[in-house]
Amino acid sequence: MWLFGVFQFIVAPIVVLSIYPSADTALEKKCLYLKTQTSSVYYDNSCFATTVEKHSTTLADWYKLHKYCDKLAGYKGRLAFVRTREQINALIADEVIEPRGRYFIGAKKDPPSDCGDRLCTYQDPQHHKNWYYIDAEGQKQGELNADLWLTGEPNNAGTKPPENIVTLEHLGSARLGFNDANGEAQHFPLLCEYLPRICKCAPSSGDILVCPENYTLIGKTCYKAFTQKLRPSEAQAQCRREGGDLPSIHNERVNQHLAKMARQAAHYDYSRRRGELEQWGPFLIGLQYVDGRWKWTDGTKTDYYRWYAKKGGSETMLNKPSNGYKYVFLQTTTNANDGVAGFGYWSNRLKSTDKVPFICQLSPTVDV
């Protein structure tokens, strides 16, 4: 771990935090200062840094690694939750992590694999299940992104104790990805993540608006694209459990940003032919046909349309709501199977029983 000296920060006038352009916050300034101590970068509303010292751990003591990421001048830290390839690439580009480096991160298997007295082998099918991002309190914070495993991992390959801890590392010439390790055989630095301080207070002019983890702030609203496929009623229920609703869209700027965000989350494979709905990269939004009118589920005014049938804000759609097509999705693929471009347009080719990915929106909190 590294040691911090005594230092002061002069905080510039508070500004509204948005991803367009980059944020300017107290945490960002402290993260910039941290560059004098170790490798660090402010990315996606968090400060990421690596420790100078290297560590080993048993599975039982794995939680203690979080304490080495404990504080950055008052900001709570943890082992980093590495969730996307874009995140890895950004940390490499900013030289926080090395393309051929090895790091402990905030993820492990729970419940763990137990091979008893024998050596663990790849043949155990249960070893591929139950990998999570886990905080210092042992709380699961979402399933591990399985797309980031290195080829052939997790394999629990011939080690004792079992390999129940996730590391971020390279394998031969392969780019950085996840490997399973037992922690005792490793001697790695930590990849840490420092989070914004949040207060549950009403935002006002000049406040720094902050979104929950994995949400993106566009304007003064937080958005998140969910790739899980749900029926419209199920998706709306999920958004409300998150504390928000399906998104309402009122201008072209937000519409385009949401389409780009959802497309990045989906990772489309354009080399294969996709299904009737899948070819459009559908993400459910909050527009529904109710009592003979198109209405947003959050109750805001319906003052903007982007139907695929006619460009430029037309209210005309391809499918008649009277035939059950009462739900709307945002098209996020660059083009469909036949090569027709539809990115950023809306379609109501969706019934109550259809399952598609969706977007949630919610109000931000305030960084103090």
The whole-angstrom separation of Cα 235 and Cα 288 is: 13
Q: Is the pLDDT reported for residue 224 higher than 70?
A: yes
| Percentage of the chain lying above the pLDDT 90 cut | 43
Q: Is the pLDDT reported for residue 159 higher than 70?
A: no
- The domains located in the chain, with CATH, are 26-194 (3.10.100.10), 208-367 (3.10.100.10)
Which pLDDT value is given to residue 5?
34
Short-list 198, 232, 233, CA closest to 215: 198
The whole-angstrom separation of Cα 146 and Cα 132 is: 10
Could you list the beta-strand ranges (E) of 250-336.
282-290, 293-296, 327-331
The whole-number average pLDDT for the span 119-132 is 75
Q: Which among 108-122, 136-150, 348-362 has the top mean pLDDT?
A: 348-362
Which tokens belong to 238? 């999920």
Q: Which residue has the higher pLDDT, 159 or 90?
A: 90
In tens, the pLDDT along 56-78 reads 999 999 999 999 987 666 677 89
pTM: 0.53
CB 188 within 8 A of CB 51: no
Residue 266, CA distances (Å) to 43, 282, 283 in order: 21, 10, 10
Q: Where does the pLDDT of residue 321 fall: very low under 50, low under 70, confident under 90, or very high at 90 and above?
A: confident
Which pLDDT value is given to residue 288?
95
The whole-angstrom separation of Cα 231 and Cα 217 is: 25
Average pLDDT value over all residues in the chain: 81
Q: Where does the pLDDT of residue 365 fall: very low under 50, low under 70, confident under 90, or very high at 90 and above?
A: confident
